[in-house]
A and B are shown apart, each in its own frame.
Chain A
Amino acid sequence: MTLDTVKRAQDTPEERQPYAELGMKTDEYERVREILGRRPTSSELAIYSVMWSEHCSYKSSKVHLRQFGTKAPASEALLVGMGENAGVVDVGDGWAATFKIESHNHPSYVEPHQGAATGVGGIVRDIMSMGARPIAVMDALRFGAADAHDTRRVLPGVVEGISHYGNCLGLPNIGGEVVFDPCYIGNPLVNALCVGLLRKDQIKLATAPGPGNKVVLFGALTGPDGIGGASVLASATFEDESQAKRPSVQVGDPFMEKLLIECCLELYQADVVVGIQDLGAAGVSCATTELAAKGTGGMDVRLDLVPLRDPSLRPEEILMSESQERMMAVVTPDDIDAFMAICARWDIPATVIGEVTDGGRLVMTWHGETIVDIPPGTAADEGPVYERPFHEPAGQAALNADGPSRLPRPEDLRATLLRLLGSPNLASKEWVTSQYDRYVRGNTVLAQPADAGVLRISEVMPGAEETTRGIALSTDGNGRYARLDPYAGAQLALAEAYRNVAVTGATPLAVTNCLNFGSPEDPEVMWQFAEATRGLADACKALGVPVTGGNVSFYNQTGSTAIHPTPVVGVLGVIDDVAKRVRSGFTAPDQKVLLLGETEEEFGGSEWAHVAHGHLGGLPPKADLEAERALALVLTEAASRGLLTGSHDLSDGGLAIALAESVIAQGVGATVTLPEDDAFVSLFSESSSRALVTVAPESFEAIAELCAANEVPCQCIGRTGGEALVVENVLEIPVAELRETHTATLPAIFG
């Protein structure tokens, strides 16, 4: 095979190039030719095709994502916002937290174990590249119907992959979600979140300033992993003709990643890194163009110096390889020996492959011949931007008109409660979460099944202050709500994650999101995306929590059938004293049970409509963000004053499920009287901005006053104690029966 050099490209302007096979449109290819003033070499084509893919360039979503910046609320806590590898938030006492959620949907469908495992590895490296020590992960998962044949292949593989990688790395998995819906069959969603800690004066950025500085590639060797994965796997469906070019799956090595984490932390501590970036999708292409574009503008790279696992790799393949566990750093010549010595100590291969220049060009050579010569910004930042057309889906109005009011209401509320409690979406996720290590590192204060994961900040980090603080994290999303109304659905996802953080006693500070949708080329899907981003941006503004980063996953569809629009939202909060965190559910007898918030008759998209009638129609519950903010204020204030002995948010399945889960949590029963006349509405409506709390009888006055001051409705509905959940005049279910129903479902399906 002849080497396609820049000179050859100039000499053979008419040579046909496989841009379409690489997922590039004709006008995009023409634009590359225009930028370069000649045809691209095959290596340049490789770079542009991956960098301009939907996955890397956000070309369809950019115009909508801008709202997260333009509508961002002022936040003193935000240290690094969107655009870097991950956002960074000030958590006090000199500490900062960095967190991000990212999708690994398509690879997890092709090879569930490796796909999910490398999803964890990828997000962990994003967190490392900010200068932080990764301290925990969580995963938001969505699968087809629980009893579907393919779900039995995908779910166990995904869970195994996550637990394998996370457990080997020694990172606790503190929460997340597992949701089943037939719309995700063939398109499972695997969204991985990682959170890290660092000193706030030690943030690292992806930049390559200073001509003469060395460019170092370190970590695993480069092999033919997931070649074309970024553009082919993530940017188009893998049916039909693309089946033939299905790229090899990436395989991760968590032990290498663990070494990389420790090696990076030592490099940061020795202060021998000017800029750093992880290698994810689009590997060397992405790292070199992005580092160069954000630095002094130029970089010379000798591609033949990249250490290879498979010596037969061509330069184009090296550029596109997605081999895992690799990082790229920019190091001054004075520090290079120290840098290499630290890598050697950790047994991490490290190679100088190039140098920063001020020429404004990214130049790559292969055994002395120039094969790439481009302005790096044109690949990294100035990719195509599409204002894709969108319109409301046909049938949306009919869907919204087909409300749940026509559905027959149940007579037997006891049976309804048990049926919901044992349905796959509401059943205990213990079967999944027990495969994850929740407590490794010893800083986990709360983890699944608590509303949010809570971690103590007690890292040993030189120069760091001791602190009593902790951080809380939750992810939420509801595809059915978003299908009915993407604007409200995205707001409800944020509201629930925000509420989940607040019920632990933490103050919500910042947001990350993973936006999972069908094809952006479908105007109806694009409408869902536009509405969801608009809703989320407005809600972030109303709640005062900025979006710090995240990712967009398009093309989650089979044929022309897209998944429900599924914005998954992660919220990070801070609690000043982790000892004051509020435990989940009913924790002691003889406590007053209070219901905070207003209950309306809201059943559109509810679990009851889904489980009892397989119905999806009407409108989702109202997203009342003012009420949500007031509720969070009450919860965090009450927690800091030590008033709360337990808490739980109300969401899917309404009060009935919240009561049942609260009782199951510690095996403490309760007797309650429903506040509304209609027991069914009281128990199963899914109105948002509500929570259950328990208080000692002597604290009741204080919390009632606090609620009144913040205009949060507060009703005492009963008392904890006994061995059963008793709803006066409605039902009585022993704790053991609730627990049995709750925990039996997933093991029965997955073994």
Chain B
Amino acid sequence: MARVIVDVMLKPEILDAQGQAIARALPRLGFSGVSAVRQGKRFEVEIDGPADEAALAEVRKMAETLLANTVIEDYTVTAES
């Protein structure tokens, strides 16, 4: 058993309304010194076998087809050590 992490973020040029809302809320709550916030999603995918190259390739395919909307989002796939 191994765990593969998929991080999905809006592409840098895409408006992140939620991130902006968080950034606006922080100073109101007394946190200073934050210039921007971007929000993303993290998936923890448990796989049966080891996190070898083949398994990672399979997870990348999952990310491509389901976990990320590649028109507006980027993703990264990493094996949890």
Q: Which residues of A contact B (CB under 8 A)?
A: 110-111, 114, 220, 223-225, 248-253, 255-256, 309-310, 323-324, 347
Contacts and interface: CB of A to CB of B under 8 A. Distances in A.
Contacts of B11: 248
A223 B20 CA distance: 13
B15 A253 contact: yes
Contacts of B16: 251
B69 A223 contact: no
Interface string B1-14: 00000000011111
Contact of B17 (A224, A255, A310, A347): A255
Interface string B27-71: 000000000000000000000000000000000000000000101
B12 to A, nearest CB: 8
B8 to A, nearest CB: 15
B13 A225 contact: yes
A223 B19 CA distance: 15
A253 B17 contact: yes
Interface of B is mostly: loop
A347 B15 CA distance: 18
A256 B16 CA distance: 12
Given A220-B15, A251-B17, A256-B17, 9 more contacts: A248-B11, A248-B72, A249-B72, A250-B15, A251-B14, A252-B15, A253-B15, A253-B17, A255-B21
Nearest to A256: B17
13 contacts: A110-B71, A111-B69, A114-B72, A220-B15, A223-B13, A225-B15, A249-B14, A253-B17, A255-B21, A256-B17, A310-B12, A324-B15, A347-B24
A300 B32 CA distance: 37
Interface of B: 10-17, 20-21, 24, 69, 71-72
A248 B13 contact: yes
B18 to A, nearest CB: 9
Contacts of A323: 15
A610 to B, nearest CB: 33
A393 B28 CA distance: 64
B67 to A, nearest CB: 16
A249 B71 contact: yes
Contact of B13 (A110, A114, A224, A252): A224
Nearest to B17: A253
B31 to A, nearest CB: 18
Contacts of A111: 69, 71-72
Contacts of B12: 310
Contacts of A309: 15
B21 A251 contact: no
A323 B14 CA distance: 10
Contacts of B15: 220, 223, 225, 250-253, 309, 323-324
A310 B13 CA distance: 8
Contacts of B72: 111, 114, 248-249, 251
Contacts of A310: 12-13
Contacts of A249: 14, 71-72
A344 to B, nearest CB: 13
A253 B17 CA distance: 6
Nearest to B18: A253
Contacts of A252: 15, 17
Contacts of A114: 72
A111 B72 CA distance: 8
Contacts of A253: 15, 17, 20
Nearest to B15: A251
Nearest to A227: B13
A347 B21 CA distance: 11
Contacts of B14: 225, 248-249, 251
Contacts of A255: 17, 21
Nearest to A224: B13
Contacts of B10: 251
A250 B15 CA distance: 8
A159 B40 CA distance: 23
A310 B11 CA distance: 12
A314 to B, nearest CB: 13
Contacts of A220: 15
